Each structure stands twice: as C-alpha cells, then as structure tokens.
C-alpha cells in the first residue's frame, strides 16, 4: 500500500502567515468550545491577543463570526468552506452510492474517510442505525490510532511517519480495550499492512466493532478508507470479518478502476 498522506511542505516566500492564523482561529471552535473570548482563542492557537483579536474581528466583518460584546462564535457561513471541498472533490460523490448499497446488503452502517494529521475525517456515510454515543456524520473526526479506518490509513504510510502521527496524537485509552502502546500499535499496523484490512473490537467505544479496508485508485494507491461498523450485541468481531470481508473486497475492486 502507498502513503495516503505526505510530509507537510516546507514554507516558502509565498506562505501567507495571516491566512494561516485566520484558519487556525476558525479551527479552534468545536462542540466543546462553541463560543470563545479573545483570550481563549489566543491560548488555543498560541497567537498573541492582538493577533487573535484582529483575526476574530476580520472574521466578524466578513460574516464568518459574530460577537456579543464578550464572546465570539462562528456563523453558518463557515459551512461554505467545507461545502466547497465536498462539492469539488469527486471521491465522496463517487463512493456514497457504494456505501449505501453495502449498508443495505449488510444492515450495518458504512463510512468513508480520509486521514488529516493524526485524525480521520468522515467524507461519506450511510447509517443504518446509530452505533456510537456520539453522532457521526460527514465532517466528524475520530483519532486514527484506535479506529479501524485510521489504522488502515496509518498502515499505508511509511512506518516512521505513522509512528510520528501516533506520538502526536498522545494516545489515551478510550475504553479498557484501547491499545495505546506505540510498539504494540506498530505491530498492529504491520499486520494491517500485510493483510489489507483492519478489525477493531471495542477500542473506540464499548460495544462498537468496526471492519475497514483501504480505498484504492486505479494505480493501487491508497486514497482513503471505508468501513462497516456494528454492535457486539448483533455481531461479534470474528463474525463480522467472516461475513463481510468478501463484500468489502468486492466493493474495493469495483471502485478502484473508477478512482483517478
């Protein structure tokens, strides 16, 4: 398998620090921090208060943020940024009907994702039922080190790069089953790399079982990952692999010639 994520490019004279700062300010808002003060944004982004203030006021001026006199919050206009990618990227549109068919055939939820640093980001999803306590949708993020799709994508990287991303994530146990030891994770990635699929049993959330494979393009390069997820009350990890791997391989083979 080939790498699905490269080393970040070196900065050049064309690098716009102001744009980088503005995007960092947008990214520091999340479900746990839906409204922030200037001081909180400065701490979250490691910017000076003055720089954070300029970024926030600029975002307010152009309609991407609003200010109530103390707190800033993002506005729905920010969704234009994500929609621009979804509308222009062919992969989510291409894979969505295949995920829907896979979910109908297996009666389990299916998803596709890409690697973004030490996290995976969902780019397509077909949900048969809610399988996690946290709702998942396009744009949702999960740690790569303990998710089935994340391990598939980490296994596609050069081992040193994968280990660097795992260290960056600072793995912590999300359940009693979560594997966090870097050496054990390295061995797991080697197994995933060799067999071409990954099974994760209750490491992300108790009761959750997930089976993932890489999305390949016509050159055999890894361009993403897709999975099936279910609950242990309905299917064991071993049963999931036995029942669904053939269907997933068939989907992988059908999609590969269509992905540039």
What residues does 212 pair with on adjacent strands? 198, 227
**Per-block mean pLDDT, blocks of 10 residues, the chain (260 long):** 48 84 92 92 95 95 94 92 82 95 93 96 84 74 96 97 95 96 96 96 94 97 96 86 95 95
Query: What pLDDT is stored for residue 132 in this prediction?
Result: 59
Q: What is the pLDDT of residue 10?
A: 59
CB neighbours of 40 closer than 8 A, spacing ≥ 6? 33
Task: Determine the pLDDT at residue 1.
Answer: 47
Q: Report d(CA 113, CA 224) in Å as an integer.
A: 6
- The confidence score (pLDDT) of residue 129 equals 64
Domains of the chain, with CATH numbers? Answer: 17-81 (1.10.10.10), 89-258 (3.30.450.40)
Q: How many CB atoms lie within 10 A of CB 171?
A: 19
The pTM (predicted TM-score) of the whole model is 0.81
Q: What is the pLDDT of residue 79?
A: 85
| CA distance to 92, 93, 140, 185, 229, per residue, from 88 (Å) | 10, 9, 19, 35, 27
- The predicted pLDDT at position 11 comes to 65
Q: Which residues have a Cβ under 8 Å from the Cβ of 82 and sit 6 or more positions away?
A: 139
């Amino acid at each position: 398998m080939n790498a699905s994520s490269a080393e970040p490019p070196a900065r050049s004279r064309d690098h716009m620090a102001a744009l980088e700062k503005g995007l960092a300010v947008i990214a520091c808002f999340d479900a746990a921090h839906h409204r922030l003060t200037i001081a909180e944004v400065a701490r979250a982004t490691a910017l000076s208060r003055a720089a954070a203030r300029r970024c926030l006021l600029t975002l307010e001026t152009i309609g991407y943020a609003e200010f109530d006199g103390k707190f800033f919050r993002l506005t729905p206009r920010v969704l234009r940024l994500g929609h621009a990618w979804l509308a222009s990227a062919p992969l989510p549109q291409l894979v969505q009907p295949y995920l829907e068919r896979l979910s109908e055939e297996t009666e389990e939820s299916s998803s596709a994702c890409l690697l973004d640093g030490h996290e995976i980001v969902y780019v397509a999803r077909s949900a048969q039922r809610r399988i996690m306590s946290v709702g998942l949708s396009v744009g949702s993020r999960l740690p790569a080190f303990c998710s089935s799709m994340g391990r598939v994508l980490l296994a596609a990287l050069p081992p040193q790069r994968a280990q660097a991303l795992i260290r960056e994530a600072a793995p912590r146990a999300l359940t009693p089953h979560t594997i966090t030891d870097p050496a054990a994770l390295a061995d797991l990635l080697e197994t995933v790399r060799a067999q071409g699929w990954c099974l994760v049993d209750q490491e992300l959330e108790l009761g959750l079982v997930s089976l993932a494979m890489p999305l390949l393009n016509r050159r055999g390069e890894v361009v993403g990952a897709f999975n099936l997820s279910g609950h242990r009350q309905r299917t064991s990890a071993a049963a999931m692999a036995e029942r669904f791997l053939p269907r997933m391989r068939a989907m992988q083979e059908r999609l590969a010639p269509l992905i540039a």
